[in-house]
A and B are shown apart, each in its own frame.
Chain A
């Protein structure tokens, strides 16, 4: 039997217990109230390129993001890949639902609708105010192309020439003619020999018919017509505007250089066709040259887009980076955009993805004089030799898909002028709401 008093049996009295608990609680409270380690800012970036994918463009973007990470280790970037065909719509839906990314990379056609839908956040505080005129002029594409109502809504992330003429140089004799009337004779021997189409163009509405429109717009300029006039009405419902369509129909019906099945071809179909040598020539954008080169090597040659009286003007545009209205880390997002368009990041991307940079100052780098930079130099030379200012109008996605449908109808027998007039009428109706 114990001789200890009842309250002292364990050597740990109630008073001691209460005091220890109180002290422990106080210590814990003090510990919690000390400044916590600063929380890392995190931004979500939607890109059509998967940084883990094994292709030059994805690797190029991954290198650019790495540059940002080194500059700002305190900011975390989560890259979420979204297919380019649906990026515009997905951004609008997500931002309006309040679950959008902080920054998105979009095709150049998407900006007017993002601005119209109110999903783009102005970037004036990051770029317009803080940047000198010299810095603005350093951008190859016009600064004003991404300005709406005086607000800088996006920054070009890359530069692309949309209307390069690609051909398999080991199947044809010599250089392609720059007058499109001579193109069938140039392509015919190779097309007959290899039993493949001489010239492919996609008229599908998929991806907002970008592969067709980027060929058509410079062809319209070369014919003395236009895509959309300064007043907003279409500039192709006339004799000059009909010429590119008539030329294409001749390639299908008269010269048999182009199959009727082009009415269902997408941009990816065209790219795949030339990669597996199932077409002698296609018009495509400079940003996909590296992808084709991995399959074709030196067999792929680039030329300017043939037109009615010599080459068509270069149609230059670019993908852009936009801060969304649902951005939660505005400062971090601004730094991210700034890093991706910095000369350092632009050189890295040019070297890895062979994409033309958006900054003029970058071109001083010796790499641009090397043979590896030949494709980039070609795009830049084409652009500087025959530039043409262009800014996509609001509602361009609708107009693009509508023109592609008209072209499909023409291939299946509808008169050119009638189809174009209908597009013009519908565009006016849509424009006026």
Chain B
């Protein structure tokens, strides 16, 4: 090792930096950003650019895929019609009901699966099965199940009660059926995350609570729920995003009907673009859904995640 190098090694770090040239210092400072740049460009290209493009198209007239002149908020007008209001209502019912039912079911099953049951491994496998089924198959499966002509449910009600039922032919029951199908296929995802959160709670907490005479409900209310709260909030955010953007299920199961009862905003986006070829309307609806998701996630994060974090740090 040369003398110069030896001197550099024995020198304090701050002095070492000060003795380097300004260009080298700049390069050293920029190194992490330069290394991240390709990935950042890629991520921006596939996320930020489409969002910018979405906003751009939403405020311009379109003819098929050709974007024309700026037309202000004209593309947003159909959303404020009776049909648009129905879509908002359908989306709100679908997302809120699906969120509540999925989380409730996933939490319940996570608690069951955490208990020391016999055959727990098999139970866990069976409970996960809906997750393996593709969305199209799920939709077709439920459609067949509820078919008024040869579905098993229709057959059962006709042979037992003499009733003819057509759940997908009625505005209220069609929405209920769609929510049920959605909960059925999406609860395993929530279950996996909540179960992991519950399993990470130290057993000492439960033992201490039991020594203090806490009931099972108190253990759940004051230990399990607060400790898994942040995970549940994250699951809620992810599910909300997914439900708002879901097209396959309403498209295959109900096609938005009957009478637009299940014409959720995501299906409206799809149909305006690819059936009606009104890309401006479609983009405008996309902007509204994007902003709604953004607002909801800010709300969830502020009210559940940050408050929870403050409570823990206190």
Contact = CB atoms under 8 A, between A and B. Distances in A.
Interface string B145-189: 001111000000000000010101111001000000000000000
A205 B257 contact: yes
Interface string A69-97: 00000000000000000101100110010
Nearest to A208: B275
B260 interface: yes
Interface string B274-287: 11111000000000
Contacts of B260: 405
A187 interface: no
A203 B64 CA distance: 27
Contacts of A408: 257-259
B64 A262 contact: no
Contact of A263 (B257, B274, B275, B277): B257
A204 B257 contact: yes
Nearest to B259: A408
Interface in A393-413: 395, 397-398, 401, 405, 408-409, 412
B277 A264 contact: no
Contacts of A96: 65
A398 B274 contact: no
How big is the B interface, by class?
20 to 34
B169 A401 contact: no
A398 B276 CA distance: 5
B176 to A, nearest CB: 14
Nearest to B65: A96
A405 B259 contact: yes
Contact of B277 (A116, A204, A260, A278): A116
Interface string B257-272: 1111000000000010
Q: Chain B interface mostly helix, strand, loop or mixed?
A: loop
Contact of B150 (A118, A261, A264, A278): A278
Given A204-B255, A408-B258, A433-B61, A397 B147 contact: no
Nearest to A118: B64
A261 B271 contact: no
B168 A264 contact: yes
Contact of B275 (A273, A276, A278, A397): A397
B69 to A, nearest CB: 11
B310 interface: no
Given A117-B64, A261-B169, A264-B168, A398 B275 contact: yes
B64 A264 contact: no
A430 B77 CA distance: 13
A89 B169 contact: no
Given A116-B277, A430-B278, A263 B149 contact: no
B275 A264 contact: no
B254 interface: yes
A288 interface: no
Contact of A259 (B164, B168, B174, B258): B164
Contacts of A86: 274
Interface string A251-267: 00000000111111110
A433 B169 contact: no
A405 B171 CA distance: 13
A266 B256 CA distance: 12
B207 to A, nearest CB: 55
A260 B169 contact: yes
Nearest to B82: A422
B42 to A, nearest CB: 19
Nearest to B170: A261
B106 to A, nearest CB: 30
A50 interface: no
Interface residues of A, number: 39
B47 interface: no
A96 B274 CA distance: 13
A264 B254 contact: yes
B63 interface: yes
Nearest to B280: A433
A263 B169 contact: yes
Q: Chain A interface mostly helix, strand, loop or mixed?
A: helix
A226 interface: no
Given A259-B166, A264-B254, A264-B257, A276 B149 contact: yes
A170 B274 CA distance: 43
Contacts of B169: 259-265
Nearest to A273: B149
Interface string B56-88: 000001011100000000000000000000000
A118 B63 CA distance: 11
A365 B274 CA distance: 42
B257 A272 contact: no
B257 A409 contact: no
Contacts of B276: 395, 397-398, 401, 430
B255 A433 contact: no
Contacts of B258: 203-204, 263-264, 408, 412
B274 A89 contact: yes
Interface string B118-162: 000000000000000000000000000001111000000000000
A421 interface: no
Given A206-B255, A259-B164, A269-B149, A117 B65 contact: yes
- Tell me which of B61, B259, B276 has the highest count of chain A C-beta atoms within 10 A of its own C-beta: B259
A92 B257 CA distance: 25
B277 A113 contact: yes
Interface string A162-173: 000000000000
A264 B175 CA distance: 12
Contacts of A273: 149-150
Contact of B259 (A259, A397, A412, A433): A412
- Tell me which of A263, A276, A397 has the highest count of chain B C-beta atoms within 10 A of its own C-beta: A263
Contacts of A89: 274-275
B150 A272 contact: yes
Given A116-B277, A395-B277, A205 B149 contact: no
Interface in B217-243: none
* 6 shortest interchain CB distances as A-B pairs: A261-B169, A261-B166, A89-B274, A206-B255, A278-B149, A263-B258
Given A118-B64, A276-B149, 8 more contacts: A96-B65, A205-B257, A263-B258, A264-B166, A264-B169, A279-B149, A405-B260, A408-B257
20 contacts: A93-B274, A113-B64, A113-B277, A117-B64, A117-B65, A118-B64, A204-B254, A204-B257, A205-B257, A206-B251, A208-B275, A264-B169, A272-B149, A273-B149, A397-B275, A397-B277, A398-B275, A405-B257, A405-B260, A412-B258
